[in-house]
Each structure stands twice: as structure tokens, then as C-alpha cells.
Amino acid sequence: MKFHKEGYPSLLITLLFAAVLNGLVYFFLNDYIIIKVLAYAISAFLLIVILQFFRSPSRNFVQRDGHIISPADGKVVVIEEVEETEYFKEKRLQVSVFMSPINVHINRYPIAGKLKYFKYHPGLFLVAWHPKSSTDNERTTAVVEDEKGRTVLFRQVAGALARRIVFFDKEGKDCVQTEECGFIKFGSRVDLYLPLDAKLKVKLNETVKGGITTLAEF
């Protein structure tokens, strides 16, 4: 188990807060045992939360041609045909994976190919299950096209808690399936827009693992 690089600023802030809190308690409230224990407990809790949230577990990734792999850990919360208006401008099959605060929040490429399109959209911070979160919230849009011309669009969508979306690459990048492409801090969702004839391999409310679970096949 590793600690992800995106977590170092949060870890530093947490350690600084804990140091200041416990320092103040030591110098001014040292005789109050309950307050000292409470300060220790708060510090330990915050540290555990940060360590588990930014964890990067070791996994055996396998690249599978023709498979569309889940870009994130979480639960499948949407499977429906929708009109994709930003890039394809046609009907697509939307599959959305919701990440709770306890999930691993690393995002990975669902297929191998070329990063044909990328755009960051500032926006709102509606709860991740809100119907308009995919179009109104802060988000990124990325499109990967494989060597056979098959394309997948996926979006990192911010939520009520997620206030920082990170995407590592730029247009033109040669993408490796299951390779890290980004990170969403403190929960939210990833939406995928697949061809209508894609063969689904998951069901609504199914739990999936990023870089491991096959969502669909071309």
C-alpha cells in the first residue's frame, strides 16, 4: 500500500493542524486530561482519514483489447442512453461510477489509445447524484480513441465534497489502459459515454474496481 502524491499537501496541513492543536493544549490546558485525550483523538482521526483517502493499493492490472475498464472504484449508479452534447453530439450509453469518501480515488484510463480531446469546465458543486451534476458541476472531459477508431468519453465530475479535480495529461498523449490519468479529492463520480452497441458487463448498483472491472466490451 502506497500513499498517493496528490495527498501530500493535505497530509502536511493535517500534521500542522495536529501540531498546533496539541501544542496549544499542552501549554494552556495541560491539566485537563479530557481535553488532552480529545485533542489526541481528533488528531489521530484526521490523520487516519487522510492516510486511507489517499491510499494507492497495489493491484495486478491486465490490459484487455476490446474491453472498457472501470476508471474508478465505486458503485455503478447510472446506466442509460443519453444525448452527449459536448463532443459526440449524438446518443451514447452513459455508465456512471460513484465514489464515496472511503473509496480509492485514483482515476485510470478505461481503454488504450490517443487522448483526442480534453477540456476542463468550471462549475457548481451539486451532490454527485443530482441529475444535472454531469453538465453543471465542475468537471473534466476526456476522449480516448484506440487504434481501431473506437472512442470512449469519460468525465471526472466534482460533487458537494469534491472541490479539487486533477487530470495529469494533455491532448495527444498515448494512453495506456489502466494507467493513472487523474484524481478526484473527497468523493464524486466518473461518467463514461460508450457506443450504443457496447455490451454491458455490469449492472446498476454493482461495486466495481478501478483498472480491474470490465464495464463493457466493444
Catalytic residue annotation: 188
Rounded Cα–Cα distance for residues 120 and 63 (Å): 27
Q: What 3-state class would DSSP assign to 117? A: strand
What angle, 0 to 180 degrees and rounded to 10, lies between the N-to-C axes of helices 33-53 and 8-28?
A: 180
Q: Looking at 34-187, which runs of residues are DSSP E strands?
A: 55-56, 67-69, 74-84, 90-99, 106-108, 113-121, 139-145, 151-157, 165-167, 174-175, 180-184
Residue 45 cell numbers, joined: 482521526
Cell numbers 454531469: residue: 134
The DSSP secondary structure of 6-67, one letter per residue, reads: GGHHHHHHHHHHHHHHHHHHHHHSTT-HHHHHHHHHHHHHHHHHHHHHTEE--------TTE
